[in-house]
Amino acid sequence: MSALIVRPSKLSGVITAPPSKSYTHRAFMIALLADGESVIKNPLIGYDTMATIEAVKEMGAEVIQEGNTWRVRGTGGNIKPRKRFIDARNSGTTIRMMSAIAALSPQPTKLTGDQSILQRPMGPLIETLAELGAKAKCEGKDGRPPVIVAGELEGGDVEITGSISSQFISAILLAAPYARGDVNLTITGELRSKPYVEITLELLEMAGAKITHDGKFKAFKIPGRQVLKPINLTIPGDFSSAAFPLGAAAITGSTVKVNNLDIKGAQGDKRIVPLLKEFGAEVRVFKDAVEVSGEGGLNGIEADCGDNPDLVPVLAVIGSVADGETRLTNIPHLRFKETDRLRALATELRKLGVETTELPDELKIEGAKYLQGSTLRSYDDHRMAMAFTVAGLVARGKTIVENVDNIPVSYPSFIDDMRKLGAKIELIK
């Protein structure tokens, strides 16, 4: 397993944001379901998205790569698995959304993944698919993977919780247009990570799906027997990934510009821009770029991150060096990510000398005068690894971030980009 040695650094320069992981997953899945050939340009090619691309092939699509352009000849919803086994690797998006798509096949498919995936909740989704007529069950304990799913989806009125993962809702929305009858989906509890559902709906609308909702994302009506059209899409840059170099600029007193960012797009994590301003950083927004300067002092903030869980790791690091208290609230769903991110952040920030309080659904962080370099665990979690690398840029001495092999899950060029900006980072294997 590889590790990073990080030393205090000043940053400067311009980089390009990697393509969006969320858009890439959904684009390939919709292309699988569409009747005809879809064209996907500049997708993110990382560990998680490759799990989806391989699953799309296994479910019957033909995938052709031509440089940075990918052509996908879809199935028109006529899912015929080439194999009856899908390995989602470390990708929660893959196992959840492909489980719903597997409900369109009369043949059973087993979906599983690595040890982290085997701990991810699947029960509510599998139960809902069964209520819609699929043959679906969890083989793991307490509604955990592996799961076995076969069709067909008949339709009907169902409820599903929004409090665990928005991926449950996106999964149903992807498959439901191909149900034999109409699907009326009601969301119970608070829908967290709502912007990810908005991305799903945006791409489904691009493919011609007829889906209506109540405006509050609590009730969806999806007519059955639809056929999705092919899409032609250039994947936008990823704000979730760009948040790390932008946050690094804020805490190191540096100026960094990240290109390929559209502030007008649907990504919820574009919220990093106003949050950095609230911390006290200077932020400039261009047509397709964001520039952050951290010349002044930073102050603590309070932010409801229910819709932005992927921003929490870098926000916690920024809060660790900001004056006063930072509270990141409404984030119980962070406990169901690649690791329990609330516990991981609290544990590792304390090693850096930061007073951190972990509550059931929030983090309280008391900004420290300085961070003390330490050896930090990544918990085999890409966002933990990147967040702790950013922390190491302002910690005294050297910081070692262990097990960084998973960074390419969402940001394959992270280490190269940070070095390009001047970060003193050494990769050891």
Question: pLDDT for 311-364, tens place per residue?
Answer: 999 999 999 999 999 999 999 999 988 899 999 999 999 999 999 999 999 999
What residue type is 67 in one-letter code? G
Looking at the chain, how many residues does it have? 429
Q: How far apart are CA 248 and CA 192, in angstroms?
A: 27
What residue type is 374 in one-letter code? S
User: Under a CB-based contact definition with an 8 Å cutoff, are residues 95 and 88 in contact?
Assistant: yes
What is the reported pLDDT for 337?
A: 85
What does DSSP assign to residue 309?
G
Question: What residue ranges of the chain have pLDDT lower than 70?
Answer: none
Distance of CA 133 to the CA centre of its chain: 29
Residue among 305, 337, 306 nearest 162 (CA) = 306
What is the reported pLDDT for 295?
A: 81
124: tokens are: 């509510």
Residue among 424, 322, 317, 386 nearest 46 (CA) = 386
What is the reported pLDDT for 85?
A: 95
User: Under a CB-based contact definition with an 8 Å cutoff, are residues 38 and 204 in contact?
Assistant: no
Q: How far apart are CA 214 and CA 23, in angstroms?
A: 24
Strand positions, DSSP E, 128-244: 135-138, 147-150, 156-161, 183-188, 212-213, 219-222, 232-234
Q: Which residues are catalytic?
A: 310
Residue among 37, 107, 26 nearest 76 (CA) = 37
